[in-house]
Amino acid sequence: MEWRRLSLALPLAALFVVFFIAPLFVLLGVSLSTDMDTHTFTFAHYVKFFTDRFNYSILTDTLLLGLKATAVCFVFGYPVAWIAARARPGLQSILLLAVILPIMTSVVVRTFAWIVILGRQGLLNQIVLGLGLSEEPLRLLFTEWGVVIVLAQVQMPLMVLPILSILAKIDPNLADASRALGAGEWRTLWRVTLPLSVPGVIAGWILTYAACVTAFVTQSLIGGARLVYMPLHIYQQAVGANNWPFAAAISIIFMIAVLCVVAGLNLLAAKSQRHAQA
């Protein structure tokens, strides 16, 4: 019975083996060979990446960019989830649709809209200049903070939805008990609600982080040509420089780096769950 049931997964598993696992192994193979035609084994591309400061700093910049954007998502996403969890069903649906809208609208369209808003003569600069907050237009496009803001807007639902689903499950009596015992609202939020929602928070961090570091379109259009992050670096090496083995090596390095961060967050999640049960 068990095996008959599992056999239903065979078609998809076959597609994944042929078109997902096999390509990843080929990618690994190419990254370890001198060039595309001769298959001589070499670590040269990896050595090149880690000995060149330029390459190395792109990786750390990308991982840090993900961290900053995820942090902004969390600071604004948690209140949204908290308010949505307490809202009437109608208001809750509207809030959720507002949160989901950006991730549904095409990423190119969304990023394009931000160019109109953040540009030198964009909406934001008109407001800033109009209010006399600054003498000259602010540089927002092609800066790291520009990329962080746009990433945070785009990936917000990935943070809000897991937190909301766990907030909805928390027994409201716990917060009542905390208040009855004399804790104020802030203390209850900080010492009861937030710790209980940690699993949702970490799920949100994982999804948001993975999406932010790999957001090629947003990074390249808002960051411009001078702010290079890993996805653009891979693309430039593969298509621009036509250096497939090196592009393959940086792809592998990038994937492993992202998986390490995700695994680290997963460990944190497991630890916090044990902590909650103890």
Partner 1 sequence: MRKPEPQVDWEARSVTIVLGVMTATAVVVLIAPSVVILLTSFTDSASLRFPPPGFSLRWYRALFDADQMQAAAWNSLLVALWSTLLSAVLGVAAAVAVSRSRSWTARALDGLFMSPLLLPALAFGFAALIFVYRMGMRPNLLFLIFGHVIVCVPFVIRTTLAALSQLDASLEDASISLGATPAMHFRRVTLPLISRGVGAGAFLAFMASFDNVPVSLFLADERTEVLPIHLWQQIETNLDVRTAAASGVIIVVTMALMALAERFAGLSKQMR
Give the integer Cα–Cα distance in Å for 225 and 170: 46
146 makes contact with partner 1 (CB under 8 A): no
Least distance (Å) from partner 1 to the CB of residue 132? 20
C-alpha 108/C-alpha 142 separation (Å) is 16
Binding test (CB under 8 A) with partner 1, winner from 44, 170, 189, 268: 189
Nearest Cα to Cα of residue 210 among 103, 63, 75: 63
**Nearer to partner 1 (CB atom), residue 7 or residue 57:** 7
Question: What does the alpha-carbon distance between residue 18 and residue 275 come to, in Å, rounded to a whole number?
Answer: 41
Residue 180 is a binding residue for partner 1 (CB under 8 A): yes
Q: How far is CA 86 from the centre of its chain?
A: 26
Could you tell me the two tokens for 71?
A: 């942090």
CB-neighbour burial class of residue 103 (10 A; exposed 0-12, middle 13-18, buried 19+): middle
Only one of the segments 25-33, 39-47, 139-147, 267-275 lies at the binding site for partner 1 (rule: CB under 8 A); that segment is 25-33
2 is a site residue for partner 1 (CB under 8 A): yes
DSSP label at 33? B
* Part of the chain binding partner 1 (CB under 8 A), chosen from 39-47, 51-59, 132-140, 242-250: 242-250
172: Cα within 13 Å, side-chain hemisphere: 4
Residue of 44, 67, 71, 83 that binds partner 1 (CB under 8 A): 83
Contacting residue, 32, 63, 99, 228, with partner 1 by CB under 8 A = 99
Choosing from 23, 195, 240, 264, the residue that interacts with partner 1 (CB under 8 A) is: 23
Residue 198 or 246: the one with the smaller Cβ distance to partner 1 is 246
| Smallest gap from residue 157 Cβ to partner 1 (A) | 7
Size of the site for partner 1 (CB under 8 A): 96
Q: Does 278 bind partner 1 (CB under 8 A)?
A: no
Q: Among 44, 67, 71, 107, which residue sits at the site for partner 1 (rule: CB under 8 A)?
A: 107
Q: Which DSSP state fits 253?
A: H
Count Cβ neighbours within 10 Å for each residue of 190-217 and write b for 16 or more, e otherwise: eebbeebbbbbbbbbbbbbbbbbbbbeb
Q: Applying CB under 8 A, does 110 fall inside the site for partner 1?
A: yes
- Binding part of the chain for partner 1, among 16-24, 42-50, 135-143, 268-276 by CB under 8 A, reads 16-24
Query: Counting contacts by CB under 8 A, is residue 206 touching partner 1?
Result: yes
Q: Is 153 one of the binding residues for partner 1 (CB under 8 A)?
A: yes
Q: What is the torsion angle, in degrees rounded to the nearest 10, for the CA atoms of residue 15, residue 17, residue 23 and residue 25? A: 180
Please, what is the minimum distance in Å from the beta carbon of residue 246 to partner 1?
12
Binding of residue 113 to partner 1 (CB under 8 A): yes
Contact between 101 and 107 under an 8 Å Cβ cutoff? The reply is: no
- Binding to partner 1 in span 27-56, by CB under 8 A: 27, 30
Interaction of residue 249 with partner 1, rule CB under 8 A: no
Q: What are phi and psi of 41, to 5 degrees?
A: -70, 135
